[in-house]
Amino acid sequence: MAARRISSLFSRSFTSLSAKSFTGKSSDLGRATCRYSTAALSIEEPISPDVEVNHTQLLINGQFVDAASGKTFPTLDPRSGDVISHIAEGDAEDINRAVSAARKAFDEGPWPKMPAYERSKVLLRFADLLEKHNDELATLEAWDSGKPYEQAAQIEVPMVTRLIRYYAGWADKIHGLTVPSDGQYHVQTLHEPIGVAGQIIPWNFPLLMFSWKIGPALACGNSVVLKTAEQTPLSALYAARLLHEAGLPPGVLNVISGFGPTAGAALAGHMEVDKLAFTGSTATGQAILGLSAKSNLKRVTLELGGKSPFIICEDADVDHAVEQAHFALFFNQGQCCCAGSRTYVHESVYDEFVEKAKARAMKRVVGDPFKGGIEQGPQIDSEQFEKIMRYIRSGVDSGATLETGGDRLGKKGFYIQPTVFSDVKDDMLIAQEEIFGPVQTILKFKDLGDVVKRANNSHYGLAAGVFTQNIDTANTLSRALRVGTVWVNCYDIFDAAIPFGGYKMSGQGREKGIYSLQNYLQVKAVVTPLKNPSWL
Closest CA to 217 of 498, 502, 501, 521: 521
Phi, psi at residue 335, to the nearest 5°? -90, 70
Residue 304 contacts residue 505 (beta carbons within 8 Å)? yes
Cβ count within 10 A of residue 190 = 13
| Alpha carbons 512 and 317: distance in angstroms, whole number | 31
Q: What is the DSSP string of 36-52?
A: EEGGGGGGGSPPPPS--
Rounded CA Rg of the chain:
24
Identify whether 150 is a catalytic site residue: no
| Alpha carbons 60 and 98: distance in angstroms, whole number | 5
Strand partners, 26: 33
Catalytic residue among 136, 150, 303, 434: 303
Cβ count within 10 A of residue 149 = 22
CB half-sphere exposure, 393, CA atoms < 13 A: 8
Residue 530 contacts residue 230 (beta carbons within 8 Å)? no
Number of H helices, E strands in the chain: 16, 26
Residue 101 contacts residue 254 (beta carbons within 8 Å)? yes
| Amino acid residing at 451 | V
Residue 39 contacts residue 534 (beta carbons within 8 Å)? no
Q: N- to C-terminal Cα distance for the chain?
A: 40
| Alpha carbons 285 and 507: distance in angstroms, whole number | 8
Which active-site residues does the annotation give? Answer: 303
